[in-house]
Structure 1
Amino acid sequence: MPDEPTADAPGPRVVSLDPRTLRGLAHPLRIRLLAALREYGPATASGLAARLGESSGATSYHLRQLATYGFVEEDPGRGTARERWWKAAHSGTRFNAAGFLAHEDPDVRAAIGLFGREVAAAHAEELTTWLDTLGDWPPQWREAFDLSDFALRLTPAQARALRAELHAVVERYRDTDTERPDDDGGDAALVHVHLHAFPRAAD
């Protein structure tokens, strides 16, 4: 999902959550609306309602809330007197959960859990959709996908180093988005890369 919790320094296209904005974003529909705008581009409340299976009243209300917290903004080049068009204000989100877990406000602590679970659920839904439609994709894409997991015995410092290295690899490929030659054969697609790294108790 376009909302990826990381602890790295934010870049120009990415916004870092603070306690206020975390509470503003930690709502299932708001997370889905923001993800849709980031992936598919500007849209109206009614268009997003149709895409997400929600009422236009609900999408309109939560878009305004997202705008209040700075996540979305109106797209004046597309808007009309009758209907607003909205666009994402940033391409991604960074979130350092460790910095919030000891927060004195229980609402902030609750928002951490909701946000993380919604991101995890979105990842699971995306992967399931891919597996359900695998046969619809050409052979080169069926051969390119990966579904792997690894169990490594690491210290916290090693886990942070691993995360930083993996993020650096992704950023190298992200930088090619605007540099891809025109003769790529038209076979490029939006690829979602999910990274989950967490410790497990021995028992």
Structure 2
Amino acid sequence: MGKSERYLARIDGRLLRALSHPLRVRILELLREDGPATASGLAKRVGESSGTTSWHLRQLAECGLITDDAERGSRRDRWWKAVHEGDQMQAADFIDDPDLAGLFNAYAHTLIERRYAAEAQFVAEVRDWADEWIDKVNFHDSSLSLTPDETAALSDEILEVIGRYRRPEQDGDTQVRVHWAAFPRRSRPEHP
């Protein structure tokens, strides 16, 4: 298994079906960001019953996105952990398949909503961060004129840089969210 395969789940149709439910995306996000948890612990955090979170955890486990945490728990207290740190997918894998196009759309919208929520939470807490972080945080938004091949090359380079920084957590680390997207935009028609 290569380094990126260990860290990133390549989304296929089977995984997309599992991730088409927003609560499953949220549960997986919590396991990836905050570490192992129980169904009851997750239920409190997402405002659902432990029966509901248990069912969604089993769905995520069936497709290999999460697994039992063998270092924690007992027969009564089952702990779950994420297998990968993130996902990678391409729209081209789904948009021509009538069974998957709607699921892709639902999952992509959920991801965008989760990204917005994470950034909005940071902005709400910005004054709470130590001075050592304030000048290191970056929100970047650019419009470039590129060909499809140039856009793919740019994405590959960005993901390569992100991959160079991927490593096991060490003392003194703080979790940092990194979002990357590159997509075309229709130009607005000129108004007379």
TM-score by length of 1: 0.85
Measure, in 1, the Cα distance between the counterparts of 2:139 and 2:87.
Answer: 24
1:132 matched to 2:117? The reply is: no
Gaps (5+ residues) in structure 1? Answer: 1-8
1:13-52 to structure 2, matched below 5 A, reads: 13-52=7-46
1:75-90 to structure 2, matched below 5 A, reads: 75-90=69-84
1:1-203 to structure 2, matched below 5 A, reads: 11-103=5-97, 106-175=98-167, 177=168, 186=172, 188-203=173-188
Preserved CA contact (<8 Å) 1:97 1:112: yes
Measure, in 1, the Cα distance between the counterparts of 2:121 and 2:150.
Answer: 33
Measure, in 2, the Cα distance between the counterparts of 1:154 and 1:108.
Answer: 28
Deviation at 1:92, TM superposition (A): 2.1
Where does structure 1 differ by over 6 angstroms across 4 or more consecutive aligned residues?
none
- Corresponding letter in the other structure for 2:113: A
Tell which deviates more after alignment, 151-160 or 21-30. Answer: 21-30
Helix, strand or coil for the counterpart of 1:151? coil
- Corresponding letter in the other structure for 1:76: A
Deviation at 1:148, TM superposition (A): 1.8
- Corresponding letter in the other structure for 2:130: P
Name the Cα RMSD after superposition: 1.7
Gaps (5+ residues) in structure 2? Answer: none
Measure, in 2, the Cα distance between the counterparts of 1:97 and 1:13.
Answer: 20
- Corresponding letter in the other structure for 2:151: A
Deviation at 1:54, TM superposition (A): 2.1
Question: Among the aligned pairs, what percent are the same residue?
Answer: 42
The count of residues paired between Structure 1 and Structure 2 equals: 186
- Corresponding letter in the other structure for 1:99: D
Helix, strand or coil for the counterpart of 2:9? strand
Helix, strand or coil for the counterpart of 1:15? strand
